[in-house]
Structure 1
Amino acid sequence: MKMMQQRHKSNGFTLIELIISVVILGILIAAVAPLVSSAFMFMEAAKKDENEITNRNLANAMIDFSRTRTGVMKSRLPDPVNTSAPIVAGLFNEASTNSESIALGVLLKSTGVGPNQINFDNAVVQNARVYQRVSDLTFNMPLYVTTGPSMRLTYDYAVVYSTRCGAATACYTSASSSNPPGDSPVLNSGNYSSWKTVGSDYGAVAFSSLSEQKNLLRITAGRLNMLTERFNVDFHNKVRLSSADSATNFFPTNNGGLDLGNTNPVANMGCRDGWYTLSAANVDVLTQLGLDKSEYGVTPWGGIISYCRDYDPAGTGTHNSPPHYGALRINKGTTSLGVPAVISDAAILTF
């Protein structure tokens, strides 16, 4: 009987023990809950940081891509991909086979970002990564940075950001170029300077091609400096070899078959003999100077560089009469490939 009573006393918990256990458990939960919450917050912050770094790497790749483009599109950002779902406001279309898309894909993937994470993040629901761009913005700056004629640069401004908009959800499948995935507004020329993500969107990286356009303008200035130096050196070398009283215009004459001499300078932007397109097949002036037409006959955008061998803007002289001045002309609008139609569109450098 005594043994049975002892066995009965050893089974289960007393009420006091249960109360103590509950109190201890409550204390533990109260102590651990903030840590769990902090852990989740830390994981969320780490994910956001990871996506922002990815967005920045992708933006840098698109800047790199802009440098590979040619002609008027040189140093211009690629178009956003809007083929409707499965890609809306995306960075890259894997299905495209044109050479530019392939080149862009190579650069985007070379950042270390997985192919499946270019237009979406690596979450199970694949949240959209959005690329918006506003194009044809303009910026005026002097040809020689602080001096010279004012040149008009055309550039693009863009943003890449992350969203909570899953690829299979209505916020993505119903999206369009005028209603991009996520909560943030459309980027346009009226709001780009103040645009920012709203709602649950995050990790925005803003970038533009303006610095690349400025670099192309520096290259343009360098080419024009080289040309004016060669024209001056050639002119003065010929002067030294001539008689002391020679009044000859020693600036190179075009021997390529085109003769634009003795025109009215008032009606020809100050030029009596020209303007010769230095890259033209029937103009051999650069060949005479030992310069490559494909490099020094055009601007980095492919714009025309014209040469005048008898520059008289006042129109007070006569054809080939001293003093002799030459001139180079380009379009102030750097992406305008044609010759300037009016004098206000022309950047003219004399020598």
Structure 2
Amino acid sequence: MPCSRRRALQLLGTAGATAATAGCLSPGSLDSYALIGDELDLSSIGPPYLWPDPTVIDATTRVDFTTEAKTASLSALFETGTVTVRQWPLVGRDEWGTETRPRPTFLRRDETFYEVRITDERVLERERWHFAVDRVDETPPDGAAVAEPPFDLSDQDERVLDAALDAVYAGNDGFLGDPEFDELQTVEFHHGFDADASALVPSPPFEFVEYEDEYFRAVTERRTVEVPEWTYAIGEVSDSRADFIAYARDAIVERNLTDAGLSQAAQGVFDGAIAEEPRRYEEGAPPSDELSEALGALGIAEDLEPIDSYEERVDFRNVVVEYRDGVYRFDLIVTP
């Protein structure tokens, strides 16, 4: 029978996670600076640039918004040309050092292509209820209220409880940043939920949850969170696919390194980053003149701080350029 994501994480544990990511680059396997390149085919445009169905874009919450809520926001965007949403990153963002930067984003409706841009963004502070479950080793005491499947909860509360159980097996996945109490991965009652109608907050009707022969203690807390809010504007590009691809390509490709007058040494940096093996160019700190020249050509150098100023790994992601006879996407990983 199919294995749920939660059950798979429970069964795999650390060993499974290590095996599943064996081909990935970890900070421990890199020098101070690692430039990684791969060829990008822009003969057709798809995610993460073009989203035929943008409702598949996840909200920045552990429990996603409903498809109906996302569809309502999209309808307002297409009807009025603008919409303001909270916690739904319709325009993708790439890591850029300690910051992020927006990625060219396009939508399609009725065979017409559109570009979406961020016209305003801010961070709001809101009071939100949070729910979590904490695995316990002992059997709950006699007389304790213990919930077990099937849970007698509303659809909304079922989603929250299910996400809280998922979070236990996901561990500290960084989804909500550093946990603020008991190192628990919490589920936020975002604005798409009705906390007043929930049986889980402020106090659930049970003290413990029994699930797959394990026990979990229910935890709730109300705290202040930062809520990102974006205002998006949409503009028509074309109803011709060929014209759209040409437009999108110009928006995605930031620079032409072929005409940048690079030195032979800097070209060697790029050639190493796109080579089949090891498919990256690495250096220790401080960066050499040729690496500095390459990062300047990519537009990274102006935002790159001295490595001692970083407390942890930072990435500069998705710089798309023309180089030699192709289009390449470069990432810089800086590991203090």
Shorter chain as denominator, the TM-score bin is under 0.3
Pick the structure with more helix per residue: 1
TM-score calculated relative to the size of structure 1 = 0.23
Larger relative CO (CA 8 A, sep 6+): 1 or 2?
2
